[in-house]
């Protein structure tokens, strides 16, 4: 309690005990004593007069907020106008009690202590939630990394091992075809049909391997991979897809390029499923040390409710991928005028730009 009048201290003590409170009270009068006591221990509540001979209540409040911001601070004063009372509450005081109405002091202290406990519990809950979110984000990042590594491994095995086996099988079939009697037309036709099946299977294997992990992303970089994916999208759907970039060809870190490429793939998938568009424009630029990927379509236009929906796993996944690298994904649509998806992720420092391996 910051108070210079022993009688007021006694009256406040009597009022608190009369309210059934059990407590230990330390009284200080000067700024130095107040700062020293706060340094020695953290009180459960601070009571302070507003006007003191060498010290004032607002000064005490400022010190308390700087030293013990979570401790309730209640003014117990003889007179306090409405403007001053509002000022103290805006400055951070928990409450104020007039000395001629000390019967209210006990309930004010109890309420302040109760709110203090609730604030501490809420703060702890928020810290736990933040920690859980950070752990979940780290796990998500790890799982995405493992997933990409596994996709890359499977793609290489499918392409190399299965592809080579099919190629060897085709060569053996060609050898058999060449050694069949010339008049065995049925057998020659069967060999030709089998060879065509093998060719189709080889193409399927290459397509599966490419969809798992396009080698062009690792070998030629992000820009080439986006141009290739846009061409594949146009060939498969008939939707015109153009790519424009103002960036010179460069190779970024693998995880950086992968995030952009996967978001681009998911955007094209959403266009096929929902947009009802006939044209897609893709632009890759650099703005304020950020790489910006913009995808515009001329479809029906995404609604604000759809863009904000947590039920869309695809949109949530796109945002999460970007946030893992400190970036963001924004969706903007107008009814009948299409949708614009903007991906902005900070560029890696020059020293950390690595060629994809």
Residue 345: how many CA atoms within 13 Å on its side-chain side? 25
Q: What is the dihedral sign for C-alpha 189, 190, 193, 199? A: negative
57/95 same-domain check: yes
115/223 same-domain check: no
314 contact partners, CB below 8 Å, separation of at least 6: 266, 269, 270
274/340 same-domain check: yes
The answer to whether residue 135 sits within a structural domain is no
Task: Report the domain count for the chain.
Answer: 3
DSSP string, 54-85: S-BHHHHHHHHHHH-TTS-EEEEES---HHHH
The answer to whether residue 111 sits within a structural domain is yes
228/252 same-domain check: yes
Each of the 357 residues of the chain gets a pLDDT tens digit; together they read 999 899 999 999 999 999 889 999 999 988 999 999 999 988 999 999 988 888 888 899 999 999 989 999 999 988 777 788 888 888 889 998 988 889 899 999 999 999 999 988 999 999 999 888 888 877 877 787 787 778 778 878 887 888 889 999 999 999 999 999 988 889 999 999 999 999 999 989 888 887 788 888 888 889 999 999 999 999 999 999 999 998 876 778 888 888 999 999 999 999 998 889 999 999 999 988 899 999 999 999 998 888 888 777 788 888 888 988 889 999 999 888 899 999 999 986 433 333 333
pTM confidence score: 0.57
The answer to whether residue 130 sits within a structural domain is no
The answer to whether residue 64 sits within a structural domain is yes
48/107 same-domain check: yes
């Amino acid at each position: 309690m910051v108070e210079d009048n022993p009688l007021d201290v006694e009256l406040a003590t009597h009022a608190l005990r009369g309210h059934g409170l059990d407590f230990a009270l330390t009284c200080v009068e000067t700024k130095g004593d107040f700062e020293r006591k706060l340094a020695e221990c953290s009180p459960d509540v601070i009571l302070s007069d507003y006007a003191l001979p060498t010290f004032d209540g607002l000064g005490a409040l400022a010190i308390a907020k700087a030293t013990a911001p979570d401790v309730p601070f209640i003014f117990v004063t003889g007179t306090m106008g409405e403007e001053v009372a509002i000022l103290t509450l805006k400055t951070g005081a928990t409450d104020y009690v007039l000395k001629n109405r000390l019967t209210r002091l006990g309930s004010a202290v109890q309420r302040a202590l109760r709110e203090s406990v609730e604030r501490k519990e809420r703060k702890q809950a928020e810290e736990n939630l933040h920690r859980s979110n950070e752990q979940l984000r780290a796990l998500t990042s790890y799982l995405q990394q493992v997933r990409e590594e596994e996709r890359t491994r499977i793609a290489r095995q499918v392409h190399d091992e299965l592809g080579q086996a099919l190629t060897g099988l085709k060569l053996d079939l060609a050898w058999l075809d060449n050694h069949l009697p010339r008049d065995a037309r049925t057998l020659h036709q069967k060999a030709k049909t089998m060879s065509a099946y093998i060719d189709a299977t080889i193409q399927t294997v290459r397509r599966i391997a490419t969809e798992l992990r396009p080698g062009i992303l690792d070998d030629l970089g992000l820009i080439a991979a986006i141009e290739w994916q846009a061409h594949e999208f146009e060939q498969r759907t008939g939707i015109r897809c153009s790519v424009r970039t103002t960036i010179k060809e460069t190779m970024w870190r693998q995880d950086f390029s992968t995030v952009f490429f996967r978001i681009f793939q998911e955007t094209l998938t959403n266009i096929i499923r929902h947009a009802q568009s006939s044209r897609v424009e893709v632009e890759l630029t650099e703005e304020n040390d950020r790489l910006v990927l913009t995808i515009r379509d001329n479809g029906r236009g995404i609604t604000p409710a759809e863009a904000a929906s947590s039920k869309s796993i695809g949109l949530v996944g796109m945002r999460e991928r970007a946030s893992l690298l400190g970036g963001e994904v924004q969706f903007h649509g107008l009814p009948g005028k299409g949708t614009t998806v903007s991906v902005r992720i900070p560029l890696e420092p020059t020293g950390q730009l690595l060629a994809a391996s």
